Structure 1
Amino acid sequence: MEANQLLNKQVLLKTILISSVLLGSLLFALDGIFHNWIGELNRFGRGMKVGLSLLIFWLIVTASLRSINRLAEDIPAFSLLIGGVAIAVLGTLLGQLILQILTWFEEPWAPEPNYRTFMFYGVGGLVASVISLINLRVKDKTVGNVLELIFIVVVALLFFYFAR
């Protein structure tokens, strides 16, 4: 394995690790804040919590992929896709694992973990990764915007098809 490929793999793995820990910690903190300060959530509160968690998720995944792309310029696009999904899944699982440990110790303020969320965030990580890849690798902005719009429309159609 040549030195450049080894460096690319190190950048990818270290970024995945750091970003996953950051994402898991922030999602855990958001759960704790909403559970402790707001208490029982109504529909608006749950929507606000989901919206904030998706914003945090989106920012971390896209910023991480941009960092990987800058530090390892010749890294394959497939590695960036895998990296985005890995950050999303591992970060979400870490946040839920922290909640699980707190419930084992019977902390009264810790909400029950919801392990099903990692699948949702995994798909979200794939979507965020593809959009980031389009923005990072397509040189012509017009073509990039058209590809991004087409991808978002296809994802929305698939979502509505499977949601019914």
Structure 2
Amino acid sequence: MPAYDKNDLERRMNGAVESLKGDLGGLRTGRASTSLLDPVTVEVYGAHMPLNQVATVSVPESRMLSVQVWDKTNVSPVEKAIRSAGLGLNPINDGQTLRLPIPDLTEERRKELAKLAGQYSEKAKIAVRNVRRDGMDALKTDEKKGVISEDERKRLETEVQKLTDATIADIDSVSAAKEKEILNK
């Protein structure tokens, strides 16, 4: 059985791009998005739970989030978790519902978010390069075992490099679009 598996490499590289899109989706751009609260965990029932397991998050208007807490006893812990999440949001308590107005971003905060987007992008690129390295190692292993010839290894290495270049170009375009969105709002 050859060690090299092109489909596995493609799947792992695409996974890095999808992970980046998820990370970038959590960055606030001045518009309300339910994904903004994805990183928030709430301490309820003696455990830390994701916010979406104790409340429903919705976007009633473009600059407002609404968090409908299912159990009235959890309203205070949810409010505390949102305040301490470092998202710059200040919940307004309406009984069992928390309203979260989305404040305008300062220029300084926009630059911080753009820098963070760049860091997420770099992490994704590193993941893709690690997948490429695994693919190259697998090809060398296959050549040593006599599964493929030297010419075949070189041809496949070129294929792996093209896949890597295309994936990194995807990462760059996704990241550039998000940075533009952050800086131009």
| TM-score interval, smaller chain | 0.3 to 0.5
With structure 1 as the length reference, what TM-score do the two structures score? Answer: 0.39
With structure 2 as the length reference, what TM-score do the two structures score? Answer: 0.36
Larger Rg: 2
- Greater strand share, 1 or 2? 2
